[in-house]
Chain A
Amino acid sequence: MPRAKVARKSTAIDMTAMCDVAFLLLTFFILTATARQPEPLPVDTPASTVKFKLPDSDIATLTVGQGKVFFGVPGQPIRVRTLELMGEKYSMQFTEEEKLRFSLIESFGVPIGNLKQIIALKGDERNKEGLQPGIPTDSIGQNPSELHNWILSARYATKELHNVDMRVSIKGDSREEYPQIKKVTSILQDQNINKFSLITSLRASEE
């Protein structure tokens, strides 16, 4: 009598569907991920327990570290308009090419006199550490400081193009001394910006 044989099943699973799903998700995440731009001024932000995500648009970032202040505003049309307004203030002419190149700069920190040189540089050269000296924060006589004008121009540009009030955030380095931070906040207060955000990283756990 022949024994009843248990049919041996293959252990191979059809992976096609799983593979499809995996790659679909992968594509989604790659497309939604925003590429992190290299920063010309790397800062180590202090930690806090606040859990409030920073909005993406209409918020200018002032990076403060090593005694320097860098300025950045998101949105290419806003950057172009900001540059035009600054050009009017300091009576400088920018070509279309320069405007386009400027609109791709995430954050910068040079006096307005050196702006054209920085625009002309290549991306990786521009972000070399120590190249950019920071935006001057001191006012000269009756004239407000350059940083003041940059913030004001960006606010005008945001209002013109998006019809919302621009918000300001400060991204400071942990070791930065308070007087420098105070200088920046008092520039903001001069413009009646009394509410702003401090960018912090999330504290991993309670000590």
Chain B
Amino acid sequence: MAELDTSGGGKNKGGKVRSKKQSTRVDLTAMVDLAFLLITFFMLTTTLAKPQAMDMAMPDKDKTEQQELTVADNRTMTILLGANNRLEWYMGLVDKPMTPPQVDNYGRNGIRKALIENSKKVIAATGDPKKGLIVLIKPSDQSNYRNFVDILDEMKVSNIQQYAIVDISDPDIALLKRDGLLK
């Protein structure tokens, strides 16, 4: 198979007809092919099977009253996760937002732009890189788990150091309903 006939075609000139001596060599090509195929398979499955883990920290539940942080509202950005993979964000407080609430999408062309932009603005306003943007994530009842993971992932991508997952409040629900992000 993988061997070329290089014997040069000698002629049998008379003499006795000898029984040909069989070579003891086995063609290993096919076997090696198979072995490498299996190696590739096992290599790929073992390294890819391990799932990735995203670490997440939640605030302590019992001590919320003592730990109530007062944060400057010019540094906070609130992101509301609505239905149908849409979200809405605003800076500041819900009753007097510093920027009008804006409906946006997930991903690179959506919320990431706003995050990076606002992060730069806040650092410029405070003049201290440690006093950056604080993001409050408020998932509504109609958002799904993928939205939740996506927005946490955006925090990592945009390098937001301070963010928190907060229960959604009634004014926020009203805002989402007004803009049609909640049924």
Contacts and interface: CB of A to CB of B under 8 A. Distances in A.
A50 B31 contact: no
Interface residues of B, number: 52
A201 B53 CA distance: 8
Interface string B28-64: 1101100110110011011001111111111111100
Nearest to A50: B54
Given A22-B36, A50-B156, A206-B108, A197 B56 contact: yes
A174 B57 CA distance: 20
Contacts of A18: 28, 32
A140 interface: no
Interface residues of A, number: 61
A11 B145 contact: no
Interface of B: 2-4, 6, 8, 25, 27-29, 31-32, 35-36, 38-39, 42-43, 45-46, 49-62, 81, 107-108, 139-150, 152-153, 156-157
B107 A207 contact: yes
Main secondary structure of the interface of A (DSSP, over half): mixed
A15 B8 CA distance: 24
Contacts of B140: 178
A206 B106 CA distance: 12
B141 to A, nearest CB: 5
Interface string A2-17: 0000001111110110
Contact of A186 (B43, B46, B61): B61
Contact of B153 (A49, A54, A174, A197): A49
18 contacts: A10-B3, A12-B25, A13-B2, A33-B46, A45-B51, A50-B52, A52-B53, A169-B53, A172-B149, A177-B142, A177-B143, A177-B144, A178-B144, A189-B61, A192-B60, A194-B59, A199-B52, A200-B52
Question: Would you list the 4 A-B pairs with minimal beta carbon distance, nearest first?
Answer: A29-B42, A22-B35, A15-B28, A197-B53
